[in-house]
Amino acid sequence: MPPRPIPAALTALLLALASGARAGEVQVAVAANFAGPMARIGEGFTAATGHTLKVSTGSTGKFYTQIVGGAPFEVLVAADDETPRRLIATGHAVAGSSFTYALGTLVLWSAQHGFVDDQGAVLGSDKVRHVAIANPKVAPYGAAALEVIKARGLTDAVTPKLVTGENIAQAFQFAATGNAEVGFVALSQVAVPGKPATGSYWVVPASLYGEIRQDAVLLRTGADNPAARALLDHLKSEPVRKLIREFGYGR
């Protein structure tokens, strides 16, 4: 007796279940400056692979401490290249898995239109009483901000005005709410693709601070998770690289 054909509805159900079985979840630690782009990237990643992301955002330095302390992150999308190297050296990340996904761009930003001029001269003016930066001890963008202040010869004048956020997202909030007239933040936070730029900002010349080379790396806890490796491959794809450039990153 010939086998009975499987109903189309049952076939569709079986395919869906098989796809669901292959789909996984990735726990990702993402540098705060990259939160916006990562949200967009995550949507495309899930649509393309079925895998989902469980994202935590914060400062790269704090993530390093948490990962070494046993946090279950599987991928680190860092704001520098030093932290992934250190994690590989200590056995907390997979050798050969790190790569540069973006070059960060620092801006001096104000929520007020017309407040920041195109040369950043306002930084040394009396109009500025508070300058928000990310904690330079744990956030590469905060360290870069101090380099700019020093390069401009404004260390003595600006240091008493500094308002330090835990990460660059908090520094942005200080400036956005008016608790600081200006803040050193990432271009990606103020120039979102498809949306008009808010406030006013000065794109800091790259010559005034060290290159912010941002690397991603597969952590030891994610070495056996196909979804984690798929995410890193997705970050290298040309559509994602294009999106990252649209957010103002160099690459």
Measured in residues, the chain has a length of: 251
8-103+212-246 and 106-203: same fold?
yes
Which pLDDT does position 4 carry in this prediction?
54
Place of tokens 């794109």: 203
Q: Where does the pLDDT of residue 16 fall: very low under 50, low under 70, confident under 90, or very high at 90 and above?
A: very low
6 has a pLDDT exceeding 60: no
3 has a pLDDT exceeding 70: no
Tell me, which fold does domain 106-203 have in CATH? D-Maltodextrin-Binding Protein; domain 2 (3.40.190)
Q: Return the structure tokens found at 99.
A: 């790569």
Closest CA to 193 of 31, 39, 30: 39
11 has a pLDDT exceeding 60: no
Cβ contacts of 125 within 8 Å, gap of 6 or more = none
Give the CATH number of domain 8-103+212-246: 3.40.190.10
Q: Where does the pLDDT of residue 250 fall: very low under 50, low under 70, confident under 90, or very high at 90 and above?
A: confident
Domain residue ranges in the chain: 8-103+212-246, 106-203
Which pLDDT tens digit goes with each residue over 79-92?
A: 999 999 999 999 99
What are the counts of helices (DSSP H) followed by strands (DSSP E) for the chain? 10, 10
